[in-house]
Structure 1
């Protein structure tokens, strides 16, 4: 069965991989240090969505119970997406 999920993303930008300053362990540490989420993840993605307000590549962490969390590669900014 195919399920349609409406989303505001238009596509993805080309990502300068050598310039990624943070790895998944660093991004995970940021989320856990501020107490947003402490469990395991269903998946982790590194992408640079072509969407309004996204100014850097982001790690997107999918959780089984708390939706999605993203961490900016350059700024370390945390956002929650449901």
Structure 2
């Protein structure tokens, strides 16, 4: 005759071993995912820095455009005066 408590304990221990194996497999999957996504995180961090630089360039674009327009107007006026268009 078998002891019902021993059978139950053996069943619980078998389930515990199975769960331990499943947890180890999940930990390995998580490690692989972490390694795979590390590169993606680096790319996004780099893009974040690039967008900050582009934002700064965008802030400078309008004043630089005004300066370029003013220089162009002065050069055009000078060329007109030099070639006798404006007297």
TM-score by length of 2: 0.18
**Which has more radius of gyration?**
2
Higher RCO (Cα < 8 Å, 6 or more apart): 1
Q: Which has the higher strand share?
A: 1
